[in-house]
Structure 1
Amino acid sequence: MTERTDRLESVALVLILVTVAVASGWASFTHVHDWTMRHAPTGTPDAFGWVNAVISELVPVAAFLVIRRRRRAGSSIGYPLTLLIAAAALSLAAQLAVAQPSPSGWLLSAVPALAFMGLVKLVLTMPTAATALPIDATDDAPAADHPAVTAQVVKPATAVVPVPAGAFTRMEVTR
């Protein structure tokens, strides 16, 4: 029953994430597009606004992925973290720039970007199946009683190579 419940929850989570990603992506992309085109030189093709939106909205996602990968490898996350903060700031700046100049206007305009970044963070920081160990609260037996979790030290086999008698009595050095 738990496996079925887990699957249903996973499906629900994926559906929610896809819905929010599409909705917030559409709103955020539109805000960045509009902001770009409002400040672009006359005659700039409309596609430039959409390209700018794609770049500014997907760089934070890529930075999150690189941060996860580097953490697993034990590498520095300084650059991708800086890139993430800069890209998120750019996205939020675009959201606020197109908003009505009031606290409620700024908040409502920033919701798509904040929701998308929040869900990306949520998904990318979820434990994976390899790191999430199931806990059985009803099992009070010590870990040593469980063969699956006890450590076994296995020594490598040593090979015995027979050496003929007198093999090392005379050494010749050749150059």
Structure 2
Amino acid sequence: MKDRIESLALAVILTVVAVAAGWASFTHVHDWTMRHAPAGTPDAFGWVNAVISELVPVAALLTIKRRRRDGAPIGYPLFLLIAAGTLSLSAQLAVAQPSLSGWLLSAVPALAFMALVKLVFAGTSATRAPVQVEQSKTGPAGDDTGPESSPSTPAVAMLPVRPITRPNGVPIIGQVTR
């Protein structure tokens, strides 16, 4: 039950941040497009350009994830991801006030989106994590005699990692089970 609540809380946080970052990024790309579009270009063109340039990285990431699962090459979707991410970050910086703080504040939406994507997509594998376990080395009656009582290094036990999943069953992050 705790895992489900944590997963739901994480999903809500990710969704809120993604929507906020998306809105800011869409707005910056729209404004940048319209600032450089020919006179008379309809405002819808700016929004279409924003939607295309901001959703291509999402599609590329999903494609990369699927291709990795299938063992297929990821070169082209990785190229699209880098190109679209660069375009988005360029738009963020282009509409910023020309100062270090202006550039940083304007880049926050694109950087937040990239960080969230890394958080979500990097933690989906169910791997095993080493955990140290001390084992008692006493003799038959609990005394420290005999060959079993010699000093030794602690044993390392492998505990399985159980993925935390969204309500639809898609893994979010791994957690050590006990």
Task: Calculate percent identity across the aligned residue pairs.
Answer: 73
Instruction: Report the counterpart of residue 28 of structure 2 in structure 1.
Output: 31
- Amino acid paired to 1:6: D
Unaligned ranges ≥5, structure 1 = 144-175
- Amino acid paired to 1:38: R
Report the Cα distance in structure 2 between the residues aligned to 1:124 and 1:118, rounded to whole angstroms.
10
Aligned pair count?
Answer: 138
Report the Cα distance in structure 2 between the residues aligned to 1:17 and 1:6, rounded to whole angstroms.
16
**1:159-170 to 2 correspondence within 5 Å?**
none
Instruction: Report the counterpart of residue 141 of structure 2 in structure 1.
Output: none
CA-CA distance at 1:72 after TM superposition: 1.1
Instruction: Report the counterpart of residue 117 of structure 1 in structure 2.
Output: 114
Write the deviation string for residues 58-103 of structure 1: whole angstroms up to 9, x where unpaired: 1111111111111111111111111110000000000000000011
Structure ranking higher in strand proportion? 2
Unaligned ranges ≥5, structure 2 = 136-156, 158-178
The answer to whether the 8 A contact 1:30-1:53 is kept is yes
Report the Cα distance in structure 2 between the residues aligned to 1:113 and 1:136, rounded to whole angstroms.
37
**1:1-175 to 2 correspondence within 5 Å?**
4-127=1-124, 131=126
Q: Secondary structure at the match of 1:127?
A: coil
CA-CA distance at 1:108 after TM superposition: 0.3
Q: Secondary structure at the match of 1:76?
A: coil
CA shift in 2, pair 1:134/1:48, >3 Å: same
- Amino acid paired to 1:127: T
Write the deviation string for residues 26-69 of structure 1: whole angstroms up to 9, x where unpaired: 10000000000000011111011011001111111111111111
CA-CA distance at 1:137 after TM superposition: 8.0
- Amino acid paired to 1:22: V
Bigger radius of gyration: 1
The answer to whether the 8 A contact 1:57-1:91 is kept is yes
CA shift in 2, pair 1:6/1:137, >3 Å: farther
Q: What's the Cα RMSD here?
A: 2.3
Report the Cα distance in structure 2 between the residues aligned to 1:126 and 1:51, rounded to whole angstroms.
32
Write the deviation string for residues 121-160 of structure 1: whole angstroms up to 9, x where unpaired: 21122225xx35699988x9xx9xxxxxxxxxxxxxxxxx
